Structure 1
Amino acid sequence: MSVFSRGNASRSRLRTVIGGIAVAGVSALVLAGCSGGGGTADPSTSSGPSEELTLKIGTVLPQTGSLAFLGPPEEAGVQLAVNEVNEAGAGITVDATFGDSGDADNKAFETTVPKLQSEGVSAMIGAASSGVSKLFLDSNVSEGIITFSPANTSPDFTTWDDNNLYWRTAPSDLLQGEVLGNLVAEDGHKNIAIIYQNDAYGTGLYGVVKEVFEASGGTVVADASYNDGDTSFDAQVATVTAANPDAIVLITFDQFATIAPLLVNAGQSAENFYLVDGNLKQWGTDVSVSLEGAKGTTPGPVLADDFQERLNDAWTAEGNSDLEDFSYAAESYDAVILLALASLAAGSTDAADIAEKLQEVSGGSGDGEKCDSFEACAEIINGGGVADYDGYSGGVAFDDAGDPTEATIGIFQYKADNTHERIN
C-alpha cells in the first residue's frame, strides 16, 4: 500500500477560500492528511450532558434503482452505529428514519427528502449517488439540514456552496480515478476505451482516469457515454470495439450487467475489463458471461472480521437476509458516529452547531485525543476533552471542505464464479 499526502483543501463555502490538491500515482491509496434544538453539555462531568440529547437523522440511501446493491451495506452501517450510540448511554440518543433515495431515473428521493425535512431531522445520510445528492442538496441547505454522504465521490462537492452543511466520508474521485488510471497502465495496457455514465459521477471519474492514463503514456482510443435510464447500449459497444482497445474501463452502475455480455460477444476479453465502485458488485449469475480476471477499484479499507459480523448481525436483526457486500458500510457507520460525537461535543442537535464540531471530532483540526469507538470518544468529550475519532473507514480528518483527508482505495479482482476478492 502506497502513501499519498494532501494538504488541507479549502473551498468557497460561505467562509473559506479555495486551496490546492497535489496528486501522485499509487496502486492502493492512503491519504494522510434548522433542525431540532438541543440541550447544553456540561464538560465538568463525565456522565454526559446535563440534558439528554436526541439526535434525529434520516437516510436517503438506495433501496431501489441502479445502485440498490449498495443499499444493504450502507443501511447496515447506519443501523449498527445507531445501536451502538444508543447502547453507550453517553448522554445522546439517535433516532433514525430510513428512506429510499432511488436513483436519478426513478426519483424516490423526491418523496423521501421532503418527508424527512418535515420530521425535523438534523442530518440526512445519503445519497449514495453523486447525481442524486446534487438534486436535493440545495434544498437541505435552505432548510438548514446537514447532508452527509457515505458514498458521494464527485469532485464537484468540494467547491459546493453548502453553508458548511455538506460532508462525506468517501474520498473524491480525484483519488479513485488516479488509482484506477495507474492500475490500467501498470497492467501494461497502452490503448484503452472508456464507457461511462453521463452524470456527475461518470463524467468526473472519466475525466480523471483519462488524464492519469494519458499522462502515463497511454492513449484513450475511444469513449462512449450513455444516460441513466438507458436500456440499449449497442451503439456504445460498437463505438469502443471498433477502435480495437486492449482494455475497457466501465464507469457504470447496474447497466454493467447488460453491457458486459455485449462486449464479450463482440470479441472483447473480460479479463481486460476495469470496473469502479458503482458496478464492483458480487455479480455471480447476474452477469451471463465470465468476468474472471477483470479488476476494479472501490474506496474503503480492509474491514475487520468482527466489524463485518456486527454489521451482519445488526442487519439481520431487522429481518433482512445476510449481507452479500460491505461496500460503503464503514463510511456509513462512521458518518453516524461522527454526527453523534459532534452533537455531543456541541451540546446541541442544531445542524449548524453539529457542523461546527464535525471537523474537530474527526481530527481535522489537529487537536484532540485519539479514540476508535463512539464510547471511548464520548468519554473524552463528556470529561471535558477533545476527541479525535479514527473509524472503520479510516482516520477521516476532515478538511475545511468537508472532505476526508485520510482514506483508502482498494483493488479487487474477479474469480471464476463472478465474485471478487481484494488483491490490494
Structure 2
Amino acid sequence: LAVDDINAAGGVLDQPVELFPGDSGDTTTDTANTTVDRHLANGTQVIVGAASSSVSLKVIDKIVSAGVVQFSPANTSDQFVCYADRGLYFRTAPTDVLQAQALAQLIAEDGAQRVSILALNDPYGTGLAENTVTNLVDAGIPEDQIQKIIYDPNAQSFNAEVDQVANFAPDAVALIGFEESAKIITRMHEVGIGPSDGMAVFGVDGNMGNALGENVAEGLLDGMAGTTPLTDTGEEFQQRLLGVDPGLIDFNYAGESYDAVIVSALAAEQAGSTAGVDIAANINSVTRDGEKCTSYQQCLDLLRAGEDIDYDGATGELTFVDAGEPGVGSYGRLVFGPDNTLTTEDYIVVGE
C-alpha cells in the first residue's frame, strides 16, 4: 500500500519504488540471512523488517555493514536502543521500555497484588519481562509478590512452568510469548488458571492477535487482555489494506509498516539520494521539527518547495528520538471474547 501511494505521487526522485518481498522466518531457521543476501544482491537500500527482534539481531550486522538501512515496523526489544548500528537501524514500533509501562498500567489498574510473569527466553521476552517487573514495583506491588519465569519457547511441554505459576497462586498472570502461547494457555486451563477459569491473564504484542485464538479451543481465551503497539488508524486505512490483501485477519503493525516505507521514501527525497547511508542521515529529521504533513504527496510537495517537514502518518505522531525510534508509544488495550476473537477497547499512550 505504501509503495502504491509513493508511486502514485511520482515515486522517489522521479523514479518508481520497487518492492522485493521476502520472508524473515524465525530464530529456528536461517531464512532471514538468505532473504537479506538476496536483497543485498538486488541492490536494495532499505530493508523493512524483520518482525521479530531476535531475528533482526541475527542479520543487523550484515545489513548495516553493507551501508543499507534496516527499518523494522515491529521490533520492540530495548537491545536496539544503544546497538552499534552505524546509524542505519530504525523502527516505527516503540521500544519495550514503553510497552512495559503500558502492560504494568493495565495489570495494576485491574487491581492485581500478586503477579506471575511467564516470558520466553530471547531478548524480546527477557527484556520486556524485566522492564515489566520494574514498572509493577513502581506501581506499588512488592517485588516479593512478583514471580518471573523464563522458559524455552521451543520446549515440547510447558507443564513445569505452568505448575510453578499455579503453586505461586497469583491473582494475575502476564504471558510474554509468541505462537507457543497457545500451548501455555491450554495447560493453564488444564490446571484451572486460564483466562476462561477466571484468572486475570495479560498478553503482549507477540501473542495478542487473532492467530492465537485459532490455535486454542474455543472459549479458552475469554477475558484475556493485553497490549500491542497500536494506534487508531481508522476504518478508511483498514479498508485500503483489505483492498491490497483481503485475507488480513488483524491490523497489528500495519500502520507501523506503512510508515516505515513512507518515512524512508521521504528521507531519500530530502537527501536527494537513494543511497542507504544518505537515507539514514535524513530519517529522524523528516519525523520532527518541521511543517506537519500526513501523506506522502503532501510531504513531497513541501520538500520540493524547500520546506522542512514533520511527517505524522498512519500511526500518528512519530517524533523520532536520536536512537531512530518513536519517543511516544501508543498501545491498544485488547480483549479476547468468548469466541476467541479480539476487540480493541481503547488506547494507552505512554512516554508523553
Q: Under a length normalisation based on structure 2, what TM-score does the superposition of the two structures give?
A: 0.93
Q: Alpha-carbon deviations, 1:301-339, whole Å to 9, x = none?
A: 1121110011111124xxxxx211100000000000000
- Corresponding residue for residue 161 of structure 1: 84
- Corresponding residue for residue 336 of structure 2: 414
Residue 215 of structure 2 aligns to which amino acid in structure 1? D
1:352-371 matched pairs, under 5 angstroms: 352-363=277-288, 366=289, 368-371=290-293
Q: Offset of 1:193 from its aligned partner?
A: 0.7
- Corresponding residue for residue 325 of structure 2: 403
The residue matched to 1:297 in structure 2 has which SS?
strand
1:23-62 matched pairs, under 5 angstroms: none
1:23-422 matched pairs, under 5 angstroms: 80-89=1-10, 91-219=14-142, 220-270=145-195, 271=198, 272-282=200-210, 283-288=212-217, 289-316=219-246, 322-363=247-288, 366=289, 368-422=290-344
Q: Give the superposed CA RMSD.
A: 1.3
For 1:184 and 1:198, the matched residues in 2 are separated by: 22
For 2:138 and 2:272, the matched residues in 1 are separated by: 49
For 2:157 and 2:194, the matched residues in 1 are separated by: 21
Residue 234 of structure 2 aligns to which amino acid in structure 1? A
Stretch of structure 1 that moved more, 280-289 or 199-208 = 280-289
For 2:69 and 2:316, the matched residues in 1 are separated by: 21
Q: Alpha-carbon deviations, 1:35-87, whole Å to 9, x = none?
A: xxxxxxxxxxxxxxxxxxxxxxxxxxxxxxxxxxxxxxxxxxxxx00011011
Q: Offset of 1:94 from its aligned partner?
A: 1.1
Q: Offset of 1:285 from its aligned partner?
A: 4.1
Q: Offset of 1:394 from its aligned partner?
A: 1.9
- Corresponding residue for residue 47 of structure 1: none
Q: Offset of 1:122 from its aligned partner?
A: 0.3
For 1:298 and 1:208, the matched residues in 2 are separated by: 15
For 1:295 and 1:138, the matched residues in 2 are separated by: 36
Q: Does the CA contact (< 8 Å) of 2:94 and 2:229 recur in 1?
A: yes
Q: Offset of 1:405 from its aligned partner?
A: 1.8
Residue 275 of structure 1 aligns to which amino acid in structure 2? G
For 1:360 and 1:222, the matched residues in 2 are separated by: 42
Q: Does the CA contact (< 8 Å) of 1:167 and 1:403 recur in 2?
A: yes
- C-alpha change, 1:258 and 1:269, in structure 2 (3 Å) is closer
The residue matched to 1:274 in structure 2 has which SS?
strand
The unaligned stretches of length 5 or more in structure 1 are: 1-79, 317-321
Greater fraction helix: 2
Q: Does the CA contact (< 8 Å) of 2:101 and 2:135 recur in 1?
A: yes
Residue 21 of structure 2 aligns to which amino acid in structure 1? F
The residue matched to 1:324 in structure 2 has which SS?
coil
Higher RCO (CA-CA < 8 Å; seq separation 6+): 1
The residue matched to 1:207 in structure 2 has which SS?
helix
The residue matched to 2:335 in structure 1 has which SS?
strand
For 1:339 and 1:114, the matched residues in 2 are separated by: 20
For 2:26 and 2:279, the matched residues in 1 are separated by: 28
The residue matched to 1:423 in structure 2 has which SS?
strand
Q: Does the CA contact (< 8 Å) of 1:301 and 1:394 recur in 2?
A: yes
The residue matched to 1:404 in structure 2 has which SS?
coil
Q: Offset of 1:106 from its aligned partner?
A: 2.3
Q: Offset of 1:133 from its aligned partner?
A: 0.6
Identity level (%): 40
Q: Alpha-carbon deviations, 1:154-192, whole Å to 9, x = none?
A: 111110111110000000101111111121111111111
The residue matched to 2:327 in structure 1 has which SS?
strand
For 2:35 and 2:305, the matched residues in 1 are separated by: 38
Residue 277 of structure 1 aligns to which amino acid in structure 2? D
For 1:414 and 1:263, the matched residues in 2 are separated by: 16
Q: Offset of 1:225 from its aligned partner?
A: 1.7
For 1:149 and 1:314, the matched residues in 2 are separated by: 21
Q: Under a length normalisation based on structure 1, what TM-score does the superposition of the two structures give?
A: 0.77
Q: Offset of 1:89 from its aligned partner?
A: 1.4
The residue matched to 1:96 in structure 2 has which SS?
coil
For 2:156 and 2:314, the matched residues in 1 are separated by: 37
Residue 401 of structure 1 aligns to which amino acid in structure 2? A
